[in-house]
Amino acid sequence: MRKVAMFAAGLAFAAVPAVTLVAHHAFGGEFDPNKPVLLKGKMIKLEWVNPHAWLHIEIPKADGQQACQFTPNMKCEEWMVEGGTPNTLLRRGITKESLQAGTELVIDGYQARDHSLNRANGRNITYPDGRKLFLGSSGTGAPTDGADPTEAPKGRGRGGR
Amino acid sequence: MRRTMLAAVCASIAASVVVGAQMKNAGIPRTPDGHPDLTGVYDLAVLTPLERPNGMPAVLSDEEAARLERENVDRNRALDKAIDGNRSAPPKGGDGSVGPAGNVGGYNNFWLDRGTQYAIVDGQRRTSIVIDPPDGKVPPLTQDARQRQASRFAQARPTSDQTESNDPGLEPAGAYDDPERRPLGERCLLGFGSTSGPPVLPNYFYNNLHQIVQTPTHVMILTEMVHDARVVRMNGKHVPSSMRFWMGDSIGYWEGDTLVVDTTNFTDKTRFRGSTPDLHVVERFTRVDAKTLKYRFTIDDPKTWAKPWTGEYTWPATTERLYEYACHEGNYAMGNILRGARLREKQSTDRQK
């Protein structure tokens, strides 16, 4: 049992830094921890680009600079939200067309350090009911991901056996 | 005429060597010249870390590996679950995330593709890529290497506002002074970590696909992150030491059924784990079956590590496609980071007035 716990601790040690220490760029340099934002709006454009996808949303606001595309007779403010690489999603069959303009989204994150920019990181991007935007990286999307023990191993795990 | 005969003799020796090799490992695809065919797209995503975590054995039993892999799936499933749609903004002052997630968090788990299984090498489910030293850890840096790192750190931070250091989301003062102080990955020049290599390592994040294209004279290794192609010249000689490359100068030769790639002539830009431009990497690609390569590398740089060290893991073939990365196309992040830094500088100057 103690051995098992030790393995678990070892794995957590292995997995956690991989999530938090390795990323494409310094999020802390880009976004301001003292400017948390909650954005509720409708997607107007999806930039399906690397290194990070950017979702453009419009938020109805009395002093908005532009006419809303999806809320009639209202002014809107446009925000850009940073996501991850589109390549992994493409491999799961998710394309630029998978998310329609006009889709209502709720995003929490932090605003860019330059506050003149309406830009934030998409710390969590969900639908209004809290569902995540896309399916996850494993256990759901990949054809043989180890989630189903009866499934024959196809990719990683075969080597030399 | 003599030359023709010599060529014929050489060809017949080569053919007998190849026949011998074929008998040794008959079930693998081969190119018309008899060498193992390494062509293909490989997905290097894997749970096995470079260094063995403390307290773990070198090899997992099938049951232990299955349990840990299952736990990994469960963790991902938990991260995929819906959250409160009526949530409020994250806490002011940051969410406590460390590293590049810099106290502001990164982004949703659904963007990531970290790997789901441990590497199986020679029938063993491994807990580290490093195999020599046998403790599975990268050897400690030499005194010389530690001094180089310290001086680089000092040199990289001479100018900026010291108040930057007080913000937990930021790297030390000066780190954002100009784009050339940012890592090559952030500048869209090479994949972060050692994704491009050599040595080629998983980045434990996403886009771990690599494509090998093989001809009798060249072998090309294409890395999805950041779309870097390394061209290995077969049976060539290294270019003069005055010629330097970010991924080094790679030459290759066959040792039986193993492709050996020898790389030198690095620059001071890539610095694999603190290495010098004298870094010498020897990689060995062996096809273990129709869909798997074994990849072994040995690192030698006496100014950085007291003796060479070695790692190995498998490269499983994938039917997935490798996509263009085109990193500069949308690298708004770099602009945002530098704009933030200029703003802080201005605020600092204003305060001093």
Q: Are strands A124-126 and B59-60 parallel, antiparallel or unpaired?
A: unpaired
Binary contact (A156, B205; C-beta < 8 A): no
Residue of A nearest to B83 (CA): A130
Give the Cα separation of A154 and B320 in Å (integer): 12
Q: pTM value? A: 0.86
Check residue B181 and give its pLDDT: 85
Provide CB contacts within 8 A for B176, sequence distance 6+: A26, A29, B160, B164, B170, B182, B337, B338, B340, B341
ipTM: 0.87
Q: What is the DSSP letter of A14?
A: H
**Gap from A104 CA to chain B (nearest CA, Å):** 11
Q: Are strands B249-255 and B228-234 parallel, antiparallel or unpaired?
A: parallel
Over chain B (353 residues), the average pLDDT of each successive run of 10 is 48 46 69 97 97 97 96 92 96 88 89 93 97 98 93 59 64 83 90 92 94 98 95 98 97 98 94 95 97 97 97 96 92 94 87 81
- Stretch A23-52: mean pLDDT, rounded? 92
A27 and chain B in contact, CB less than 8 A: yes
Of A88, A109, A131, the CB nearest to B206: A88
Check residue B22 and give its pLDDT: 45
Give the Cα separation of B83 and A127 in Å (integer): 10
Q: Which of A30, A32, A41 is nearest to A77 (CA)?
A: A41
Interface of B with A in 208-227 (CB under 8 A): 224, 226
Q: Which residue has the tokens 């100057």?
A: B349
Judged against a pLDDT cut of 50, whether residue A155 lies above it is answered with no
B172 and chain A in contact, CB less than 8 A: no
Judged against a pLDDT cut of 50, whether residue A97 lies above it is answered with yes
B325 and chain A in contact, CB less than 8 A: yes
**Gap from A107 CA to chain B (nearest CA, Å):** 9
The burial class, CB within 10 Å (0-12 / 13-18 / 19+), for A78 is middle
A31 and chain B in contact, CB less than 8 A: yes
State the amino acid at position B185 in one-letter form: G
Which residues of chain B does A53 touch, with a Cβ-Cβ cutoff of 8 Å?
111, 330
Judged against a pLDDT cut of 80, whether residue A159 lies above it is answered with no
Binary contact (A8, B188; C-beta < 8 A): no
Check residue B162 and give its pLDDT: 52
User: CB-hemisphere CA count at 13 Å for B95?
Assistant: 25
A81, B309 Cβ separation under 8 angstroms: no
Check residue B154 and give its pLDDT: 67
**Gap from A57 CA to chain B (nearest CA, Å):** 17
Check residue B176 and give its pLDDT: 87
Give the Cα separation of B129 and B297 in Å (integer): 10
A112 and chain B in contact, CB less than 8 A: yes
Judged against a pLDDT cut of 70, whether residue A161 lies above it is answered with no
The burial class, CB within 10 Å (0-12 / 13-18 / 19+), for B202 is buried
Please report, in angstroms and rounded to a whole number, the separation of the first and last CA atoms in chain A. Answer: 29
3-state secondary structure string across B241-309: CCCCECCCEEEEEEECCEEEEEEECECCCCCHHHCCCCCEEEEEEEEEECCEEEEEEEEECCCCECCCE
Residue of A nearest to B323 (CA): A87
**Which residue of A16, A138, A145, A161 is the best one to mutate when testing the B interface, meaning the one whose CB has the most B CBs within 10 A?**
A138
Which residues of chain B does A123 touch, with a Cβ-Cβ cutoff of 8 Å?
90, 95, 104-108
Check residue A26 and give its pLDDT: 86
Give the right CATH number for A31-126 from 3.30.1330.10, 2.40.50.140, 3.20.20.150, 3.20.20.70. Answer: 2.40.50.140
Check residue B17 and give its pLDDT: 45
Give the Cα separation of B279 and B268 in Å (integer): 10
Q: Express each pLDDT in A118-153 by its tens digit.
A: 999 999 999 999 999 886 554 333 333 444 444 434
Judged against a pLDDT cut of 90, whether residue A55 lies above it is answered with yes
Domain segments of chain A as ranges: 31-126
- The DSSP code sequence of A59-116 is EE-TT-SEE-SSSTT-EEEEEEEE---HHHHHHTT--GGGS-TT-EEEEEEEEESSTT
Mean of the per-residue pLDDT values for chain A? Answer: 77
Which residues of chain B does A113 touch, with a Cβ-Cβ cutoff of 8 Å?
336-337, 339-341, 343-344
Helix (H, G, I), strand (E, B) or coil at B312: strand
B281, B270 Cβ separation under 8 angstroms: no
Can you read off the two tokens belonging to residue B44? Answer: 């290097």
Tell me the CA distances in angstroms from B276 to B145, B231, B249, one per residue in order: 8, 22, 15
Of A21, A125, A156, the CB nearest to B46: A156
Check residue A59 and give its pLDDT: 98
Binary contact (B74, A133; C-beta < 8 A): no
Of B109, B288, B339, the CB nearest to A160: B288
A153 and chain B in contact, CB less than 8 A: yes
Of A15, A50, A158, the CB nearest to B316: A158
How many Cβ pairs closer than 8 A exist between chain A and B? 363
